[in-house]
Amino acid sequence: MKFGLRYCNTGRYIDPAKAVELVQAGEDAGFESAWTVEHTVVPEGYQSAYPYSDDGKMAGGHDDVPLPDPLIWMAYVAAATNQIKLATGILILPQHNPVITAKQIATLDFMSAGRVLLGIGVGWMREEFEALGAPFDDRGARTDDYVAAMRSLWSQEKATHQGEYASFENVYCRPQPVNGSVPIIVGGHSRPAARRAGRLGNGYFPARGAPADLIALARKTAQEHGRDPAAIEITTSLPDDMDEIPALAAAGVSRILVPVTPMAGLATRISNPDDVKNWRDIIDKYAEV
């Protein structure tokens, strides 16, 4: 079992010094990864319902929560660390130009010696898409096309991709990722997200808990598309009772994320970098589960 720190670019950790302190402490304690979250803008008074709270609002209903760009935040702490992986959980992919995003991700992966995990999602806030001038209704199909386009840029000598939403021919995009690509982890607590993970993801992160039906759907979809269902790496939230971790491992979960701030209504399980250090024994206890 691997452990990650969750929502690291929120709360007190928007401060540069505290961000470095957190991720360095996580690296020293044996955490495998540090995960960020994204909203480029949050329009005041948005009406779209946040899917992970009873009132339909993020972070207790506050629209003005400071939230640094995840990739720039990750680049900053990458320079101060050596081993811990840096992940988006998630990047709202259909809001981004896929060629520019592929370049940014590959550069960060190259500069950090292959430490990037790209968690992606389709997004839920229509008002944010509108503020960015990005289409909302076709965001699922757009996401699929963007993933294929980015993988072409990462892996091909001269990349060509002819898709409905992204198209280029015989282009060089350098540097490329250290390992020839970047793992793509599909996030989302929904059946479409689970199916997308099965079709094209290297992993699946269902945002809340470890829903057996969605995990099974991701694996079933992988098998239907000629992929190895066991190769879909499952990432979940830390359970309320850590005695449940062996059962999660038996169900195929291989990474658990521990919240470091109350972002998105999650209970904070690590309050400061000193608390991070106390997790060494827990990580060691479950490392072989």
pLDDT tens-digit readout, 189-226: 999 999 999 999 999 999 888 999 999 999 999 999 99
pLDDT tens digits, residue range 135-184?
999 999 999 999 999 999 999 999 999 999 999 999 999 999 999 999 99
| pLDDT digit string, tens, across residues 224-243 | 999 999 999 999 999 999 99
Other C-beta atoms closer than 10 Å to the C-beta of 17 total: 8
- Please answer whether residues 143 and 193 qualify as being in contact, where contact means their C-beta atoms are separated by less than 8 angstroms: no
CA–CA dist 62, 42 (Å, integer): 10
Residue 207 and residue 189 in contact, taking contact as beta carbons nearer than 8 Å: yes
Contact residues for 117 (Cβ-Cβ < 8 A; gap 6+): 33, 85, 86, 87, 88, 182, 183, 185, 203
**Residue written as token pair 């793509």:** 184
Contact 94, 122 (CB under 8 A): yes
Specify the pLDDT at position 61: 62
- Report the mean per-residue pLDDT for the chain: 95
pLDDT tens digits, 89-98: 999 999 999 9
**pLDDT given for residue 207 in this prediction:** 80
- What is the DSSP code (8-state) at residue 82? S
The pLDDT score that the predictor gives to residue 21 is: 98
pLDDT band at 60 (very low <50, low <70, confident <90, very high): low
The ranges assigned to domains in the chain are 2-286
The number of residues making up the chain comes to 289
pLDDT at 6: 96
Q: Which are the contacts of 68, defined by CB distance < 8 A and separation ≥ 6?
A: 9, 14
Q: What are phi and psi of 86, to 5 degrees?
A: -120, 125
- Are the beta carbons of 24 and 278 closer than 8 angstroms? no
Q: Regarding the domain with residue range 2-286, which homologous superfamily does it belong to in the CATH classification?
A: Luciferase-like domain (3.20.20.30)
Q: How many helices (H) and strands (E) does the chain have?
A: 10, 10
Residue linked to tokens 């021919």 = 169
pLDDT in tens, 19-36: 999 999 999 999 999 999
Cα separation, 54 vs 42, in Å, equals: 19
| Separation between Cα atoms, residue 239 and residue 236, nearest integer Å | 8
